[in-house]
Chain A
């Protein structure tokens, strides 16, 4: 577990997060495989989003380590990186539980902002871009092409010039995923991407995530919608009260009595959902 092999993209080891007297996450260890979809599930308040915020640099963990390994062997100690460097260098992209787009900018602009670091270098840190060198213009065209590609993938090409704040809720969710993908991530972290989507939209989302995985991006997922989790996950980590209670393939997790107990104890409806999606 501790020694990261190259097939493992993310290794979380003994992660602990304390807020004052509250222990939100306690010595959590798990690993995410490269090119796979790993899901993090658990009842409300289990500490999933806290783990997420530690991995994406929004919290500094109180203890433990988070290791990210690129395919080329690049190795990052996430808990020691500054937040924006985690996205820039370690190539972890994330979405948010409550959507965080740039509502006053167009859909296309949202995706252009995501390619900021590439474009900054191409524009010679603004100085070359200011005088309009051709190399910057071609880089900008490449960025527009990549954005167009992702707009097609999420079905928002005809909304490219509309303000992101004007999109429907489901469209905003997909745009946020497209924006994260435009950063060219090695690991994509999705915080409840199916929240508030209808059945058809959830199915489309599953398809999108599977196609992203097929292209080699690893995905770490927090999700309440069990139909999505059970359908697309390769590996599931179940948390409750800040500790890991189970881990394994969707089938193993589904049948685990501890998982059922945790869900039953916390929320009857969700436990039913877990069991139903199994049958």
Chain B
């Protein structure tokens, strides 16, 4: 029955000139309504403070005309390409080639990443950017556990990033503990907060879960701003110790690494060290996540995303399963936060706004929920790409937004949408993204 109805709707969609004209006319009408106020009338404060306005009906007409023409053009293109859409544009041979290249992409990317400090040793800007990208790769991988595997939409991930950063900053500045002691502590504290967030949201699903996690992220930020005695409030925490190579500082002093090795000191040493540090942390996140996916807990997360009721019928404790997902994701967020604090040397609540949560979530969604390589590529695209468009100045956001929209049209389920099975008998076959559920909290 449904097959027949889609068939008929298809025929009507591809039927002739009247349909195309009708669609174009409707688009033009919408454009007219939208732009009549935005472009048609311009208001400005006059010299005496009164409101003056003038009309720009010529511009309005040309915009509406462009929409009308564009709509016809798009519909013609769509009919020419055929009903299956963009898939058909790429011939199967090329698709096969892409998937073959895809299997080498991960290792190639890793080797390239390892060599980045060698290739770009003298380019401080690129090294800093690479560190930033890797930080977001790590955050993306951490959030991927919660959103991609367990299917729990978390809009407050930045809270754990903040907890990790402040844990390290406060422990290091108040007690003088080293980075390597504080790092696991920061992870553990963030994981505790993950569990604390987990408890109240256990019963919530979908939109409601997203709203509460969003609120949680804001609560953490507001507490940090207002608890002046501990966190320094809006002034933040400064003078956070730099990381050491197991006790050897990377500075200009006599017992610094450069002096010990007998080479000339360069500030780049520290940058390179930070680069490898975040790379190691990110790879640890990746390794643990890949391992966890193949363990019963990881399969339970994915099963939870697929069907929570069925999980309960199979005797899986959904409460602890959800809490471990929150805790694991939060722990990696905490590690990343500690790294952020030691890299910056100064942190303030401004670094932990909702903007960051949204960015990390966008990375996970764009990358393809659950895909490790996809998330890494998405972080590269989002953070690196944003820098790439710096030359466009005013139009940067516009171009960037367009690129995002185009990627989501091309790949609605993210750059890598398919899912790799965690266990197989004879052959590991990728599972199409159409079948994989997105989870609903």
Contacts and interface: CB of A to CB of B under 8 A. Distances in A.
A116 B313 contact: no
A169 interface: no
Contacts of B419: 104
B429 interface: yes
Contact of A87 (B306, B315, B421): B315
Interface string B416-441: 00010111111111011001110000
Contacts of A103: 306, 435-437
B74 interface: no
A63 interface: no
B76 interface: no
Interface residues of A, number: 46
Nearest to B430: A163
A116 B310 contact: no
Interface string B104-119: 0000000000000000
Contact of B306 (A56, A88, A104, A140): A104
A126 B331 CA distance: 16
A120 interface: yes
Contacts of B426: 160-161
Contacts of A177: none
Interface string B293-312: 00111011011011101111
A145 B268 CA distance: 55
A201 B330 CA distance: 48
Contact of B314 (A114, A126, A130, A148): A114
B306 A112 contact: no
Contacts of A96: 309-310, 313
B421 A161 contact: yes
B20 interface: no
A276 B295 CA distance: 52
Interface in A98-144: 100-106, 108-109, 112-117, 119-120, 123, 126, 129-130, 140, 144
Given A84-B318, A85-B315, A100-B313, A163 B423 contact: no
B315 A108 contact: no
B312 A106 contact: no
Contacts of B422: 109, 112
B50 to A, nearest CB: 62
Contact of B313 (A93, A144, A165): A93
A144 B299 contact: no
B304 to A, nearest CB: 9
B288 interface: yes
Nearest to A184: B315
B432 A163 contact: yes
Contacts of B404: none
Contacts, number: 137
A100 B316 contact: no
Contacts of A120: 296-297
B43 interface: no
A116 B300 contact: yes
B314 A183 contact: yes
B230 to A, nearest CB: 33
B423 A109 contact: yes
Interface string B138-164: 000000000000000000000000000
B429 A117 contact: no
B302 A102 contact: yes
Contacts of A115: 296
Interface string A46-60: 000000000011100
A104 to B, nearest CB: 3
B316 A113 contact: yes
A116 B426 CA distance: 22
B303 A161 contact: no
Contacts of A7: none
Nearest to B297: A126
Contacts of A100: 307, 309-310, 313
Given A161-B421, A183-B314, A113 B303 contact: yes
A179 interface: yes
B276 to A, nearest CB: 24
A123 B291 CA distance: 12
B1 to A, nearest CB: 15
Interface in B348-375: none
A206 to B, nearest CB: 23
Interface in A177-193: 179-180, 183
Contact of B425 (A84, A117, A161, A165): A161
B128 to A, nearest CB: 33
Contacts of A163: 429, 431-432, 435
B317 interface: yes
Contact of A106 (B292, B295, B314, B421): B421
Contacts of A105: 299, 302-303, 306, 421, 431
A166 B288 CA distance: 30
A106 B431 contact: yes
Nearest to A161: B424
A144 B294 CA distance: 13
A115 B295 CA distance: 12
B425 A160 contact: yes
Interface in B260-313: 288, 291-292, 295-297, 299-300, 302-303, 305-307, 309-313
Contacts of B315: 84-88, 116-117, 183
Nearest to B436: A104
Contacts of B288: 130
Given A102-B307, A126-B295, A163-B435, 10 more contacts: A58-B309, A86-B315, A96-B313, A103-B306, A103-B437, A105-B303, A109-B422, A113-B311, A119-B295, A183-B314
25 contacts: A57-B312, A58-B313, A87-B313, A104-B302, A104-B431, A105-B299, A106-B421, A106-B429, A106-B431, A109-B302, A112-B296, A112-B299, A115-B296, A116-B314, A117-B315, A120-B296, A120-B297, A123-B296, A129-B291, A130-B295, A160-B424, A161-B429, A163-B432, A180-B313, A183-B315
Interface of A: 56-58, 83-88, 93-94, 96, 100-106, 108-109, 112-117, 119-120, 123, 126, 129-130, 140, 144, 148, 157, 160-163, 165-166, 179-180, 183
Q: Which 10 A-B pairs have the closest CB atoms?
A: A87-B315, A104-B436, A88-B315, A102-B306, A165-B435, A119-B296, A100-B310, A160-B425, A113-B303, A163-B431
